[in-house]
Amino acid sequence: MSTPHATREHSYDVIVVGLGGMGSAAACHVAKRGRRVLGLEKHTPAHDKGSSHGGSRIIRQSYFEDPAYVPLLLRSYALWEELARDSGSDVYRLTGGIFLGSPDCRTVAGSLKASQEWSLPYELLDAAEIRRRFPQFAPQPDDVALYEERAGFARPEATVQAHIDLALGAGAELRFGEPVLDWEETASGVVVRTEHGPYLAEQLVICPGAWAPQLLERLRIPIEVERQVLYWFDPVGGTGAFENAPVFINEWPDGAQTYGFPAIDGPGGGVKVAFFRNGSPCSPDTIDRVVRPAEVDEMRERIRGFVPALDSPCVHTATCMYSNTPDEHFVVARHPDCAAVTVACGFSGHGFKFVPVVGEILADLATTGSTAHPIGLFDPQRLVLR
On whether both 240 and 308 belong to a single domain, the answer is yes
Does a structural domain hold residue 64?
no
On whether both 294 and 240 belong to a single domain, the answer is yes
Does a structural domain hold residue 59?
no
pLDDT of residue 385: 61
Does a structural domain hold residue 165?
yes
Question: Does an H or E element contain 343, and which?
Answer: strand 341-345
Each residue's pLDDT tens digit, 271-320: 999 999 889 999 999 999 999 999 999 999 999 999 999 999 999 999 99
Does a structural domain hold residue 195?
yes
Which pLDDT band, with edges at 50, 70 and 90, does 3 fall under? very low
Domain with 191 in it: 11-51+157-223+327-383
On whether both 174 and 200 belong to a single domain, the answer is yes
Each residue's pLDDT tens digit, 175-224: 999 999 999 999 889 999 999 999 999 999 999 999 999 888 888 889 99
CATH number at residue 110: 3.30.9.10
Record the pTM: 0.96
CATH number at residue 340: 3.50.50.60
Distance, in Å, from the CA atom of 305 to the CA atom of 308, rounded to the nearest integer, reads: 6
Among residues 64, 68, 236, 23, the alpha carbon closest in space to that of 146 is found at: 64
On whether both 116 and 262 belong to a single domain, the answer is yes
On whether both 275 and 304 belong to a single domain, the answer is yes
pLDDT of residue 214: 87
Distance, in Å, from the CA atom of 61 to the CA atom of 71, rounded to the nearest integer, reads: 9
Which pLDDT band, with edges at 50, 70 and 90, does 139 fall under? very high
The residue among 284, 306, 324 that closes a domain is 324
Among residues 44, 53, 317, 378, the alpha carbon closest in space to that of 179 is found at: 44
On whether both 104 and 27 belong to a single domain, the answer is no
